[in-house]
């Protein structure tokens, strides 16, 4: 099966099928490290913020002892979320029946519990998940037995440092949120190749050399990387001169996109989270050096937003095509799209043996 994927894509039914998405939640999103937010959101003891790992709701807290923790954001009573948004609180209280949990996840109070025989609050706590950081970036993993975050990131921190970006010196500027009418894998695959850049991204291609001999693609474990140098005398939507002399675009399986554009120190990152088989939510957190000029930031963000608008047209168009059901597979370009091949191999390996994928139309690759 995997050998056939060198040129043949995943079955297009996997981009529309609900049972496949359920299998992806169980076998991918509940077992991997995913970015959920930044340490600026939990800078003080007593602070919290919410996010998602795939479809799993998450709450991250910094308790009164200044310890970083994360939990499934689901009340152990009837399943309502115990936290919304972000802020500072002494406890997390479910808005349904007022069950109240400490920032350490322990159940503190449940109305009328004293009337229930055998009710022991010490046996009922929020379900913990693993939490770790890379610089200001907060990651969670619902799998309590998963290897540490560092084993997923591997050489990525050093790669980012090598281009002139010290993540510990960056400051969060803003978050951009969006939803797209496309399967999460289509959004990820679009990020993982620049084969389309010369056609679909004229402003990006005028600044970065996207020719196959200049634009480098690398893959190692969970991390895929694209490296693009500035064109000589290229036209730009913002001033790309500065310490960062080339672009770096990283992807951490299953769904984290990281962008570093040429110019002054900058980095944006955010996950691609499925909502349904054909709809995806994503956000990008933008980080810049503390002394970055605001006008320059606005110009870079406008440039990046234009590229994002062009990508929206592409991924939503692909979704309409694969949803038609007229064709079972696509034909990948093994060189230009080798990061997609790597990604699809990881998806296929994770779902191997799943009843959901075995029963989906076009499930075989041979």
- Fold adopted by 148-343: Naphthalene 1,2-dioxygenase Alpha Subunit; Chain A, domain 1 (3.90.380)
Tokens of 290: 């503390």
How sure is the predictor about 5, in pLDDT bands with cuts at 50, 70 and 90? very low
Give me the mean pLDDT over the 142-164 stretch.
97
Residue 359: predicted pLDDT: 55
Give me the mean pLDDT over the 286-293 stretch.
96
Question: Hey, CA dihedral for 190, 192, 197, 203, is it positive or negative?
Answer: positive
Residue 3: predicted pLDDT: 42
Q: Are 257 and 184 in contact (CB under 8 A)?
A: no
Tokens of 292: 């970055």
Identify any residues that bridge with 288 across adjacent strands, giving them in sequence order: 171, 266
Residue 366: predicted pLDDT: 31
Residue 7: predicted pLDDT: 84
- Determine the Cα–Cα distance for residues 21 and 26; give it in Å rounded to an integer: 9
Residue 353: predicted pLDDT: 84
Entry pTM: 0.94
Cα–Cα nearest to 314, from 207, 193, 175: 193
User: Under DSSP, is residue 96 helix (H, G, I), strand (E, B) or coil?
Assistant: coil
Question: Hey, CA dihedral for 89, 29, 339, 313, is it positive or negative?
Answer: negative
Residue 356: predicted pLDDT: 62
- Determine the Cα–Cα distance for residues 306 and 280; give it in Å rounded to an integer: 19
User: For the chain, what are the domain ranges?
Assistant: 34-135, 148-343
- Given a cut of 70, is residue 135 above it in pLDDT? yes
Residue 365: predicted pLDDT: 36
Q: For the chain, give the percent of residues with pLDDT over 90.
A: 92
Give me the mean pLDDT over the 326-355 stretch.
94
Question: Where do the DSSP E strands lie in 289-345?
Answer: none
- Provide the CA 254 distance to its chain's centre, in angstroms: 7
- Find the Cα–Cα–Cα–Cα dihedral 300, 306, 311, 313, rounded to 10°: 170
- Determine the Cα–Cα distance for residues 128 and 105; give it in Å rounded to an integer: 7
Give me the mean pLDDT over the 12-25 stretch.
97
- Tokens 């993982």 belong to 192
- Given a cut of 70, is residue 358 above it in pLDDT? no
Greatest Cα pair distance in the chain: 77
Give me the mean pLDDT over the 320-340 stretch.
96
Domains 34-135 and 148-343 share a fold: no
- Tokens 């929206």 belong to 312
Task: Map 55-76 to HEC letters.
Answer: CEEEEEEECCCCCEEEEECCCC
- Fold adopted by 34-135: Rieske Iron-sulfur Protein (2.102.10)
Residues whose CB falls within 8 Å of the CB of residue 291, separated by 6 or more in sequence, listed in order? none
Q: What is the pLDDT of residues 191-204, one digit of tens each?
A: 999 999 999 999 99
Give me the mean pLDDT over the 315-338 stretch.
96
Give me the mean pLDDT over the 88-100 stretch.
96
Identify any residues that bridge with 267 across adjacent strands, giving them in sequence order: 287
Q: Are 40 and 136 in contact (CB under 8 A)?
A: yes
- Tokens 């919304």 belong to 84
- Given a cut of 90, is residue 285 above it in pLDDT? yes
User: Under DSSP, is residue 229 helix (H, G, I), strand (E, B) or coil?
Assistant: strand
Give me the mean pLDDT over the 293-317 stretch.
97
Give me the mean pLDDT over the 308-330 stretch.
97
Q: What is the pLDDT of residues 233-272, one digit of tens each?
A: 777 889 999 999 999 999 999 999 999 999 999 999 999 9
Residue 200: predicted pLDDT: 95
């Amino acid at each position: 099966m995997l050998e056939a994927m060198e040129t043949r894509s995943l079955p297009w039914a996997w981009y529309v099928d609900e049972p496949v998405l359920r299998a992806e939640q169980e076998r991918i999103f509940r077992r991997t490290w995913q970015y959920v937010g930044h340490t600026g959101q939990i800078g003080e003891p007593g602070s919290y913020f919410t996010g998602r790992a795939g479809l799993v709701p998450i709450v991250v807290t910094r308790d009164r002892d200044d310890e970083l923790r994360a939990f499934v954001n689901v009340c152990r009573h009837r399943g309502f979320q115990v936290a919304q948004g972000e802020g500072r609180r002494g406890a997390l209280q479910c808005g349904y029946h007022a069950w109240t949990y400490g920032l350490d996840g322990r159940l503190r109070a449940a109305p009328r519990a004293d009337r229930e025989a055998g009710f022991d609050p010490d046996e009922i706590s929020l379900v913990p998940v693993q939490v770790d950081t890379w610089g200001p970036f907060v990651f969670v993993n619902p799998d309590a037995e998963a290897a540490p975050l560092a084993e997923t990131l591997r050489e990525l921190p050093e790669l980012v440092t090598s281009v002139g970006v010290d993540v510990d010196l960056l400051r969060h500027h803003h978050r951009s949120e969006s939803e797209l009418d496309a399967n999460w894998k289509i959004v990820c695959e679009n990020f993982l190749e620049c084969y389309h850049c010369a056609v679909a991204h004229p402003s990006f291609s005028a600044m970065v050399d996207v020719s196959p001999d200049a634009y480098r693609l690398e893959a190692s474990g969970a991390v895929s990387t694209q490296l693009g140098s500035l064109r000589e005398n290229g036209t730009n939507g913002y001033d790309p001169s500065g310490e960062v002399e080339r672009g770096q675009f990283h992807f951490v399986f299953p769904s984290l996109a990281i962008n570093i554009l040429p110019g002054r120190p900058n980095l944006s990152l955010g996950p691609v989270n499925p909502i349904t088989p054909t709809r995806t939510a994503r956000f990008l957190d933008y980080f810049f050096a503390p002394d970055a000029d605001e006008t320059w930031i606005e110009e870079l963000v406008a440039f990046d937003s234009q590229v994002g608008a062009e990508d929206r047209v592409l991924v939503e168009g692909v979704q309409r095509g694969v949803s038609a059901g007229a064709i079972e597979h696509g034909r990948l370009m093994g060189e230009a799209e080798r990061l997609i091949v790597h990604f699809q191999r990881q998806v296929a390996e994770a779902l191997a043996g799943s009843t959901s994928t075995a029963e989906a139309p076009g499930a075989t690759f041979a």
